[in-house]
């Protein structure tokens, strides 16, 4: 039995489906407030459902009972943050509580989805991820940390200023910093493989796409495939640093920190996914699907 914590999320839901496709028994941990449609979708694939909440350690013992491996993708950011459901409570304390519950239940391996660190750009979400990685490594459990690079479905979407519909892109920094854009599906595929792959035992593995591309190179691909000209605006790094310094809460500070990494960090270069040997989705693949979908709608 594999427990997926965050089973209604983007990566967690896909990991649960891919584990089921391997013929494995999967238990999806969801909260009482989780989207009913997403829960039903998991159940249709044969995922059994258990209610659990990282903020309620007593619920985690039952979720981990009889489990061989845990895949955890839970985060309060970017869409679930609210008072009481914070980075400190969920991404730090809650993830640590899950690791402790897994150890107490006799779980063999924990697969934790994080992202590459840049210690020159500290911020609450990154600090929480680092603390959880350290806790997992010292837990005595087998562990796999997947440091996922930049999700193209998130960072190349309107939510972060990359608006396909209006052909407008907000670029953080000058747009020349090359990034490893990765599909959440490939990260989920890596997580599903990591529960049993010997290469993943007690390993920190970067997960990236097949090519390093700057944001401006990404815009050029969308222009080429869509036959359009995009309007590009830039947010200077100094402005991002001011936003981070004046942030009103941990989410604003973390978003600004991630945007600074996007603009400056050398840790986000192209890397291999050591667990997925066949085709990794590229930015061109993603752009092609977006352009095709837009053409079908019009």
Q: What does pLDDT average to in each consecutive run of 10 residues of the chain (298 residues)?
A: 96 96 96 89 96 93 97 84 80 97 98 92 96 98 96 95 95 96 94 94 91 95 96 98 96 96 77 69 95 77
Confidence (pLDDT) at 221 = 97
Confidence (pLDDT) at 81 = 61
Q: What is the pTM of this model?
A: 0.93
Domains annotated on the chain, with CATH:
2-215+219-297 (3.40.50.720)
Confidence (pLDDT) at 91 = 95
Confidence (pLDDT) at 218 = 97
Contacts from 140-143 at CB under 8 Å and sequence distance 24+?
140/103, 141/99, 141/102, 141/103, 141/107, 141/108, 141/109, 141/110, 142/108, 142/109, 142/110, 142/201, 142/202, 143/109, 143/110, 143/111, 143/112, 143/202, 143/203
Confidence (pLDDT) at 272 = 61
Confidence (pLDDT) at 188 = 96
Assess contact for 67 and 27: CB atoms under 8 A. Answer: yes
Confidence (pLDDT) at 145 = 96
Helices (H), 118-183: 124-137, 152-155
């Amino acid at each position: 039995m594999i427990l997926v914590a965050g089973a209604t999320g983007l990566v967690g839901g896909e990991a649960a489906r891919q584990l089921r496709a391997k013929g494995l028994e999967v238990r999806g941990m969801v909260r009482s407030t989780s989207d009913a449609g997403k829960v039903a979708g998991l159940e249709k694939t044969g995922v059994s459902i258990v209610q659990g909440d990282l903020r309620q350690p007593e619920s985690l013992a039952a979720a981990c009972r009889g489990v061989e491996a845990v895949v955890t993708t839970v985060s309060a950011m970017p869409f679930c943050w609210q008072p009481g459901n914070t980075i400190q409570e969920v991404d730090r304390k809650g993830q640590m509580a899950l690791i402790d519950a897994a150890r107490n239940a006799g779980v063999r391996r924990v697969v934790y989805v994080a992202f590459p660190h840049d210690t020159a750009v500290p911020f609450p979400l990154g600090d929480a991820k680092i603390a959880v990685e350290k806790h997992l490594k010292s837990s005595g459990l087998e562990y796999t940390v997947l440091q996922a690079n930049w999700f193209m479905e998130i960072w190349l979407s309107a939510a972060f200023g990359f608006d396909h519909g209006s052909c407008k892109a907000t670029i953080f920094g000058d747009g020349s910093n090359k990034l490893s854009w990765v599909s959440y599906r490939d990260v989920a595929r890596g997580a599903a493989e990591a529960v049993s792959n010997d290469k993943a035992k007690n390993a920190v593995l970067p997960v990236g796409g097949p090519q390093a591309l700057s944001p401006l190179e990404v815009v050029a691909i969308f222009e080429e495939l869509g036959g359009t000209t995009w309007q590009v605006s830039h947010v200077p790094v100094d402005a991002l640093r001011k936003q981070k310094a004046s942030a009103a809460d941990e989410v604003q500070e973390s978003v600004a920190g991630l945007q600074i990494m996007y603009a400056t960090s050398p840790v986000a270069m192209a890397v291999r996914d050591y667990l997925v040997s066949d085709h990794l989705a590229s930015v061109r693949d993603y752009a092609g699907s977006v352009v095709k979908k837009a053409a079908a709608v019009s």
